[in-house]
Amino acid sequence: MPEPMRAATGRAAAVEVEQLGAYLGAEIRGVDLSQPLDDETFQIVHDALVEHEVILIPDQDITVDQQMAFGRRFGELSIHPFSPNLKDKPELIVLDYNEGNPAFATDVWHSDETFREEPPMATILRSVLVPKVGGDTMWASMTAAYDALSDRIRNQIDGLEAIYDIGPFRRLFPDTPEGRAGMRKMEDLYPPQSHPIVRVHPVSGRKALFVNPQFTIAIKDMSERESRMMLDLLFRQAETPEYQFRLRWKPNMVVMWDNRSTQHYAVHDYYPQRRKMERVTIKGDRPFGIGAGRVAAAPPRAIRNVASGPHTERGDGQARQFQRLIAEE
């Protein structure tokens, strides 16, 4: 028997969660991140993150310490191995892009730092300065992207593993003896990792497509050509608009996303305007797939608009005929 819903009390009673996108995205109101979160409010925010995968908390004129304190409610903060960070607060990354410092490698679909053995479970971004035009961020629900695949493809990829590599970060090292030595040191510290293609979310049990074009270089136990073709097919799932949510930033928005179930893409259309964000990430666990027995995997949802399904504009008769043809194969 499911537990009856308990009505929130105290400060948590003022918290509202509004769904924004069909498969991901929710806005949370009635939360003040300049104050420590009480347990009940934290639970509402935590559950909204797992359920909606990306949560937006607007109007948060907070300090970096308050942002870090919010992150620490979810777990230990992690330190990015390549991004420049503050000396006294290495967990904080200031992303300050402008004419002299264009954004680097953020306009590729990815889940953060998946080249690591234990990639961060979530990222929290706060907008400080936003361009007048452009600079949106897009997220894709990789649970919806997985659920929308046909049974046959799902059966084929369940249980497969892929290789994740530091990829684009190599370009940060100059082509000098010191630069090459620095790169080799980083390659030793962060060797390629093997992660499941289909990751089971440790809280919800939902399966998510975990491969991404920024860090995934090959599928194990496949020829290079098979691997490239399969990865191309799976990468394209994130590009499907139906599984996406796009945010037009305003200053003082706090957005938190679940790296276990989403990918994101920072739209690089605002150069040379300035865009300044502050970011913290929370340590995650080692990704596991189906059969790991950690949680019961949730069955796939019926996705309303399957990109590869029969086109509704064909008309009912044609669609039925098409479905019959597929079923007869």
* Residue 258 engages Fe ion in binding (rule: CB under 5 A): no
Least distance to Fe ion, CB of residue 264, Å: 6
The amino acid that residue 278 corresponds to is: E
Least distance to Fe ion, CB of residue 122, Å: 12
* Residue 53 engages Fe ion in binding (rule: CB under 5 A): no
The amino acid that residue 324 corresponds to is: R
- What are 110-113's contacts with CB under 8 Å, separation 24+? 110/212, 110/213, 110/214, 110/215, 110/263, 110/264, 110/265, 111/142, 111/210, 111/212, 111/259, 111/260, 111/262, 111/263, 111/264, 112/259, 112/281, 113/78, 113/80, 113/259, 113/281
Residue 72 falls in the annotated catalytic set:
no
Residue 264 falls in the annotated catalytic set:
yes
* Residue 112 engages Fe ion in binding (rule: CB under 5 A): yes
Instruction: Find the catalytic residue in 80, 112, 116, 147.
Output: 112
Task: Identify which of residues 112 and 147 has a Cβ nearer to Fe ion in the complex.
Answer: 112
Least distance to Fe ion, CB of residue 162, Å: 18
Binding window for Fe ion (CB under 5 A); candidates: 7-15, 21-29, 109-117, 182-190: 109-117
Residue 112 falls in the annotated catalytic set:
yes
8 A C-beta contact, residue 250 and residue 202? no
Q: Is the peptide bond before 90 cis (omega within 30 degrees of 0)?
A: no
Per-residue mark of binding to Fe ion, 59-98 (x: CB under 5 A): ----------------------------------------
Give the total of residues touching Fe ion (CB under 5 A): 1
Q: Is 25 left (phi over 0), alpha (psi -120 to 50) or beta?
A: left
Task: Identify which of residues 112 and 278 has a Cβ nearer to Fe ion in the complex.
Answer: 112
Least distance to Fe ion, CB of residue 69, Å: 22
* CA atoms 145, 18, 285, 82: torsion sign: positive
Binding window for Fe ion (CB under 5 A); candidates: 19-27, 112-120, 137-145, 190-198: 112-120
Instruction: Find the catalytic residue in 110, 126, 195, 274.
Output: 110
Least distance to Fe ion, CB of residue 112, Å: 5
Q: What is the C-alpha to C-alpha distance for residues 119 and 122, in angstroms, rounded to an integer?
A: 9
Residues assigned a catalytic role: 110, 112, 264, 279
Provide the binding-site residues for Fe ion, judged by CB under 5 A: 112
